[in-house]
Amino acid sequence: MTITDPADYWDPLWASGRRYRSLGPEEQQLTRHFLSAGRGRPALDIGCGDGTLARYLHADLGYRTTAIDCSSAALKIAQAEQNANDGPVFQQLDIETGDTSVLPDAGYALVTCRLVFAFIKDKPAFLDRIRCLLPPGGTFWLVTPLAERLPEERKSIGITMQQAELLTASWSSVRSEDLDSMRCYALRP
């Protein structure tokens, strides 16, 4: 799927009440299994939407979480669901065109990206950006539907096998687990 301006595309969807797959118990268990406890270390959730995964990382796994999205409508919903005293820091940023030096940390023990990769226009450049945000020992957790497991009319929200090869190339460690139509990747630089 090619989206010219992601904010223009996602804003009306969020504002009209569109929501995406919730973080069910099975996915929570997988996430916990692959990601070690945060112990206050910094995490960055990219394309956080309404903040479901960011809140889980922050409150359940103990990461000090920053969550970014290009859509102001998504961030408004995320902020409204936020515990007033504690929770992720939400920030508007387009990961493809924005300046990541405005983020609170230069490096992250954990970078996550759930249900977003299929929509990224320049995937090699995106992966280079992620590598710059991950110190050695960090983890990139990416969850994405696989196009081959989706019906014809929904294939564009998933990644192709070629894109999966691009995603998993050049990491020192690649682990993955399937969850119905999705694949969850834990990648280490």
Q: Interface with ligand SAM by CB under 6 A: which residues?
A: 6, 10, 20, 47-49, 52-53, 68-71, 74, 94-96, 114-116, 119
The greatest distance separating any two alpha carbons of the chain, rounded to the nearest whole angstrom, comes to: 44
Residue 131: which residues within 8 A CB-CB, separation 6 or more? 189
Q: How far separated are the first and last CA of the chain, in Å rounded?
A: 28
Three-state secondary-structure class, residue 25: helix
> 69 vs 87, which CB is nearer to ligand SAM?
69
- Does residue 183 contact residue 146 with C-beta atoms inside 8 Å? yes
- Judged by beta carbon, residue 34 or residue 119, the one nearer ligand SAM is 119
**Shortest Cβ 130–ligand SAM spacing (Å):** 12
Please report, as a single letter, which amino acid is at residue 61.
Answer: L
Measured from the CB atom, is 57 or 164 closer to ligand SAM? Answer: 57
Min dist CB 188 to ligand SAM, Å, is: 21
- Tell me how far, at minimum, the Cβ of 153 lies from ligand SAM, in Å: 16
State phi, psi for 29 to the nearest 5 degrees: -65, -40
User: Which letter does DSSP use for residue 52 in this model?
Assistant: H
Q: Which is nearer to ligand SAM, 39 or 79 (CB)?
A: 79
What residue number has its CB nearest to ligand SAM?
49
Shortest CB 150 distance to ligand SAM, Å: 14
